[in-house]
Amino acid sequence: MTGRVVSVADSDTLTVLHDRKPVRVRLTEIDAPERGQPFGRRSTQSLRGMCANTVARVQIAGTDRYQRTLGRVWCGGLDTSAEQVRRGMAWVYDQYVTDQDLYAVQKTARLTGRGLWAEPAPVPPWLWRRGVTAVSADGTPASKPARSNTIIGNRAAASIICRPAAPAMTGCRPGIVCCSGPRRQPVPPVTALRATAVDQMSLPSRCQHGIAGMGERNGENALVA
């Protein structure tokens, strides 16, 4: 597929106009810094500088769960996935990479301190999306993923939503609103409220179990975002 690049959304996603229709393309082989992550903006600028308003050739590999076209993209004859890695603006995406030669390119970028490799221990985006904010020298998480105590309420039913592991709650299944106890019972709206705020609400007694404190053990029966 070929077409003109009409927009660059972020550091590994762009839109190509093909047959007068916009096609959103996610670059294969790489994973680049997220918005808000160190080097996220610079990585986006790097891809935009390569591809904006150029004619791109896309080697299509499939479609992802967001209905984006997956493909290896060449802008002006430049392999964007390889070039992002060479500039230190992206990681080789370990989980999905098929081009093993990219690891040599990444190694050179790391040893020469290009781009994100100027940082002593940059966090890969697949860990960043899980809430990891620091890694050790060998790339293993040095910080635990952030855990939020936000309870997600069901606006329509105004009830607590069960977590998948909630055996103590009769009739409770993932995505089903209910409280602990012999039967399900509605509770006040709980959309985006912290556990401390929920604790102060007047909830039916049979709904208190699994909410107070939202600790590792006490939080088993409520959905935590």
Q: From first to last of the 225 residues of the chain, give the pLDDT tens digit.
A: 999 999 999 999 999 999 999 999 999 999 999 999 999 999 999 999 999 999 999 999 999 999 999 999 999 999 999 999 999 999 999 999 999 999 999 999 999 999 999 999 999 999 999 999 888 877 788 766 655 443 334 333 334 444 444 344 344 444 444 443 333 444 444 333 333 333 333 334 433 333 333 332 233 333 333
Ramachandran angles phi, psi of 102, nearest 5°: -65, -25
Q: Which residues pair with 74 in a beta bridge?
A: 57, 79
Q: Which tens digit of pLDDT belongs to each residue from 136-166?
A: 877 788 766 655 443 334 333 334 444 444 3
Question: What DSSP designation does 207 have?
Answer: G
Residues recognised as catalytic: 26, 34, 68
Which residue is listed with tokens 């007694």? 205
For the chain, report the end-to-end CA distance as a whole number of angstroms. Answer: 40
Q: For residue range 27-40, what is the model confidence (pLDDT) as tens digits?
A: 999 999 999 999 99
Question: What string of H, E and C letters represents the secondary structure of 148-178?
Answer: CCEECEECCCCEEECCCCCCCECCCCCCCEC
Query: Domains in the chain, start-ordered, CATH in brackets?
Result: 2-128 (2.40.50.90), 147-225 (no CATH)
Residue for token pair 């769960």: 65
What is the CB-side half-sphere exposure of residue 69 using CA atoms within 13 A? 19
Query: Residue ranges of the alpha helices (H) in 52-183?
Result: 80-86, 102-111, 125-128
- Which residues touch 126 (CB under 8 Å, ≥6 apart)? 31, 93, 94, 95
Long-range contacts of 120-127 (CB under 8 A, 24+ apart): 122/38, 122/39, 123/37, 123/38, 124/31, 124/91, 125/31, 125/32, 125/33, 125/34, 125/37, 125/91, 126/31, 126/93, 126/94, 126/95
Residue 54, token pair as written in the block: 């150029």
pTM, two decimals, is 0.64
Whole-Å CA distances, 35 to 10, 32, 203:
8, 10, 39
